Amino acid sequence: MDAFVFQILSLLQENVRKNDLANICGVMGLDWQSDYSASAVLDGIDELDCIVASDVFYDVCTFRPLLATIGRFMQRFRRLRFYFSYAERDDNWSIEDLLLLHNLQGRIIQTRDLGENTVQICVVYRRETMEEVFCGVEGGATESKLIFVNAAGHTLAESSTAGTNFTLNGIERTVNDIAFWVRESAAKSNIPLPLKGLVSKGPGEPVTLCVCEHCRPSYYLYLRVF
């Protein structure tokens, strides 16, 4: 471990200690290009839900070792999600072939044009984990119902909660409540996100669609509103 990496890890450990998070947060170094480093990290964790990275695809020389390591992690943790930001530098750069090589799949969550730069937020996951699942939400003043179905129309899970009344609670709070509800219900039923789409039918449909469309870019729960 060189002095620069040691300094970074020491600073992170100090931040964890000062914020009294040592009992729930650990700091480990990971070198994408080192099998030994990846093995050490994998041996040190029992569960892993997501990896969040900044602008890690900054040079084509990093693409292969980075995705090889991500693929290795996803072989161990099948429902792992890899979220990262990417600043577009060259139209000819692509990770598509490497994703196929490691049985991975990726989607763009959001694209932002920041003047001279275009920044994307993306997610990568195992190709085999993604069954097309749809979610239907029926809102109400006193009770709301939710149902997950697959492409064949088979019910995978159902849930109910207190009313999601946007008139009383406002759009922002209603969207937040729905997002939390969908995530919690999906996790309990082992349904991976993002969903293929959200089906919205019933009274107040224009407003319901407005809520759903607002929820999509903010929370990345589904890809399309039907």
Average pLDDT over residues 40-61: 88
Q: How confident is the model at residue 93 (pLDDT cuts 50, 70, 90)?
A: confident
pLDDT for the residue 163:
67
Lowest mean pLDDT among 43-47, 72-76, 151-155, 219-223: 219-223
Q: How confident is the model at residue 74 (pLDDT cuts 50, 70, 90)?
A: very high
CB distance 42 to 12 below 8 Å: no
Average pLDDT over residues 67-73: 93
Q: How confident is the model at residue 225 (pLDDT cuts 50, 70, 90)?
A: very low
| C-alpha–C-alpha distance, residues 46 and 144, integer Å | 36
pLDDT for the residue 95:
87
Say yes or no to pLDDT of 130 above 70.
no
pTM over 0.75: no
Say yes or no to pLDDT of 141 above 80.
no
What domains can be seen in the chain, in order of their start residue?
25-126 (3.40.50.150), 129-225 (3.30.420.40)
Q: What is the pLDDT of residues 152-175, one digit of tens each?
A: 788 889 998 876 766 666 777 777
pLDDT for the residue 170:
72
Output the six-digit token pair for 96: 């598509």
pLDDT for the residue 16:
92
Rg, Å, the chain Cα set? 20
Say yes or no to pLDDT of 79 above 50.
yes
pLDDT for the residue 213:
57
Nearest to 167 by CA among 204, 134, 131: 204
Q: What is the pLDDT of residues 184-224, one digit of tens each?
A: 888 788 787 777 777 655 455 444 555 555 555 544 555 55
CB distance 132 to 119 below 8 Å: no
Residue with more model confidence, 116 or 110: 110
| C-alpha–C-alpha distance, residues 123 and 194, integer Å | 10
The rounded mean pLDDT for the chain is 80
For residue 26, give the 3-state DSSP assignment.
coil
pLDDT for the residue 220:
53
